[in-house]
Amino acid sequence: MSANYLEELSYKTGDVIFEEGDKGTDMFILQEGKVAVFRKFADEEVLLATLDRGDFFGEMALLENLPRSATCRALMATRLAAIRRGELLMKIRRDPTFALEMLQHMSRRIRYLDEQLISLMERERVSREELARVRAASEYPDKEHAA
């Protein structure tokens, strides 16, 4: 990518790159280092992904013009290339393979999330079946199971 499309940014270990809910005006390509992507759930941080050199992030807020959906933090000294919305459009016009690479990367993310969702649904089904067995065997069934 040509230098006139990029703004280089550097972060130290532990630095927050952006927070969930922030307005997003840039997406980032990880040039060097590692980045953790996480969301808050029940007052805890849930790790969604760990990103390495070559990965990109922040594109959702940029493409949808919505607040950031997650928080990103540098896990070590990290160098990023920032691309703003208008610059992204120019880059895609000049290099359509960049758009294809982005779509492939996003497709992998969706496939991974689909697998995680099915796994969660399977665990939920098993948990419900186990709970039903425990209730049925209990000498103190809840009101739903009382005669």
Beta strands in 33-141 (DSSP E): 35-41, 44-51, 56-57, 71-74, 78-84
Answer for the pair 79, 10: CB distance below 8 angstroms, yes or no. Answer: yes
Q: CA nearest 39: which of 107, 108, 113?
A: 113
- Claim to verify: residue 10 and residue 66 sit in the same structural domain: yes
**47: buried, middle or exposed (CB in 10 Å: 19+, 13-18, 0-12)?**
exposed
Instruction: Look at residue 52 and tell me if it is in a domain.
Output: yes
CA distance 31 to 55: 8
Q: For residue 144, what is the DSSP state? A: T
Tokens representing residue 58 in the block: 């922040």
Tokens representing residue 110 in the block: 């969706």
- Tally the domains of the chain: 2
- Claim to verify: residue 7 and residue 73 sit in the same structural domain: yes
Which domain does 124 fall in, by range?
Answer: 95-137
Question: 65 pLDDT band (50/70/90 cuts)?
Answer: confident
The 3-state DSSP class for residue 42 equals coil
CATH code of the domain covering residue 18? 2.60.120.10
Q: What is the mean pLDDT of the chain?
A: 88
CA distance 84 to 98: 15
* Residues forming a β-bridge with 27: 83
State yes or no: pLDDT of 13 exceeds 90: yes
pLDDT digits (tens, 9 = 90+) for 81-109: 999 988 888 888 999 998 999 999 999 98
- Claim to verify: residue 10 and residue 77 sit in the same structural domain: yes
pLDDT digits (tens, 9 = 90+) for 15-39: 999 999 999 989 999 999 999 999 9
